[in-house]
Amino acid sequence: MMSQEQNDALTRTDRGTLMGDLFRRYWIPALHDFELPEPDCPPVRVKLLGESLIAFRDSDNRIGLMDEFCAHRGVSLWFGRNEESGLRCPYHGWKFDITGQCVDLPSEGENGPMRKRTKLTSYPCIEQGGVIWTYMGAPELKPAPPGLEWANVTAERRYISKRFQECNYLQAMEGGIDSSHVTFLHSGALKTDPLFKGTKGNQYNERDKMPHFEVVEFEGGLLIGARRNADHGKYYWRITPWIMPFYTVIPPRGSYPLGAHAWVPIDDHNCWSWSINYHPARALSADERKAMEDGMGIHVKNIPGTFITLQNKSNNYMMDRAAQKAGTQYSGIDGIGMQDASLQESMGPIQNRAKENLCPTDKGIVMARRMLLQAAEANRDGKPVIGLDPQVQRVRSCSIELNPEENYKDAARHGLFAPPGTNPVSV
């Protein structure tokens, strides 16, 4: 059971909070690259870690991310004109470049002092792996670009989607490191979803509904091992890396692609749920990509032109009680992604962890909370923070059958820390 103080420390992400200052030490997924498709395209509103920002791609193809509101009288620069290497406020013509510097203040003239000293808060951005990333921390502490495997494969080997989720990042992320719920919540989908069905691992999931968890630390976070009984006296292990501060990699099934998530705080009550499928050694097939585009697997269907899910609170996630009763959809909600999101949102904007009752299958959740708090306290005290080195982010999930006497961290190392371009280790 957690105290209210601990829950607040873990869930609050504004600047000046423990977790907010920690998250600002890492590169953060901010946008799909296609949201800013070309130079001088319309700007896009972005909210991250409680900050309202505006993103734009300037005439020189550089990306700016800065305070949304004009320094003059607070007009939203979403209304701005993206032109001639800057974003110009349409109210009085003040213009800002990608660093947030005011480069034109028409009412003052070229040599006035106000233009030179007027600067909006801005954050550096990079493009990598189909994503625009930003760094919101102290400039002198900026780490190297992300080393996550999915962010470093070629475009034909990955598919990325995101959706708006109406809850705090932590309860969404905790769902991503909880393998025990798969046996129940996703039991129907595992049999029918084109990105999951027909694998030996599914049979083990169905036969053994009481997984044993073993969690070990590694340089970038945690390796969360869920063990079930397999054939011939062996154990079936599904090993989920949780990578600081909010990334997970989903163990594969059969020959299907790997999955991954990023759980990025928008503010304390909402988050972006990024969902990624990728294969390190081959291009995604046309059928796989079509299934992902159709909202299958870990992806969802969004309302066209938005990142708001088609199934949402306003329509009770299109729950089908008949399907729930028949067992074809264990919760009555269609789709793996929405099965997760619906229950995570049902906890409220911020889960009251003082009322929870944890059990042995929650070891990964307990250790992730502890590691986040320890890292945040280390950051506050000026000590080294784990997970910033891109080398330690290069870990992959795997599913594997092992003998009872084998330790999964060692025996599955070839699958977890595999060379780039190699096939996943999977059952």
Q: How confident is the model at residue 185 (pLDDT cuts 50, 70, 90)?
A: confident
pLDDT digits (tens, 9 = 90+) for 84-121: 999 999 999 999 999 999 999 998 877 789 999 999 99
What dihedral angle (degrees, nearest 10) is formed by the CA atoms of 63, 277, 149, 216? Answer: 130
Out of 82-86, 104-108, 223-227, 308-312, which region has the weakest mean confidence (pLDDT)?
104-108
Strand pairing class (212-218; 270-278): unpaired
Structural domains of the chain, with CATH: 27-141 (2.102.10.10), 149-416 (3.90.380.10)
pLDDT of residue 201: 87
Q: Residue holding tokens 């920690």?
A: 22
Do residues 206 and 183 make contact, with C-beta atoms less than 8 angstroms apart?
A: yes
Q: Coil, strand or helix: which one is 66?
A: strand
What dihedral angle (degrees, nearest 10) is formed by the CA atoms of 176, 178, 179, 180? Answer: -150
pTM of the model: 0.95
Q: How far apart are CA 309 and CA 407, in angstroms?
A: 41
pLDDT digits (tens, 9 = 90+) for 34-44: 999 999 999 99
User: Span 261-266, mean pLDDT?
Assistant: 98
Q: How far apart are CA 296 and CA 181, in angstroms?
A: 18
Res 427 pLDDT > 90: yes
Res 183 pLDDT > 90: no
Residue burial 82-112, b: 16+ Cβ < 10 Å; e: rest: beebbbbbeeeebbbbbebbbbbbeeeeeee
User: Span 242-253, mean pLDDT?
Assistant: 96
pLDDT of residue 111: 78
**Which residue did the predictor score with more confidence, 266 or 195?**
266
Q: Cβ atoms within 10 A of the Cβ of 411, count?
A: 14
pLDDT digits (tens, 9 = 90+) for 57-74: 999 999 999 999 999 999
pLDDT of residue 387: 97
Q: How confident is the model at residue 239 (pLDDT cuts 50, 70, 90)?
A: very high
CA 157 to chain centre: 18
Residue burial 233-258, b: 16+ Cβ < 10 Å; e: rest: eebbbbbbbbbbbbbbbbbbbbebbb
Query: In degrees, to the nearest 5, what angle opens at C-alpha 185 toward C-alphas 179 and 191?
Result: 95
pLDDT of residue 112: 80
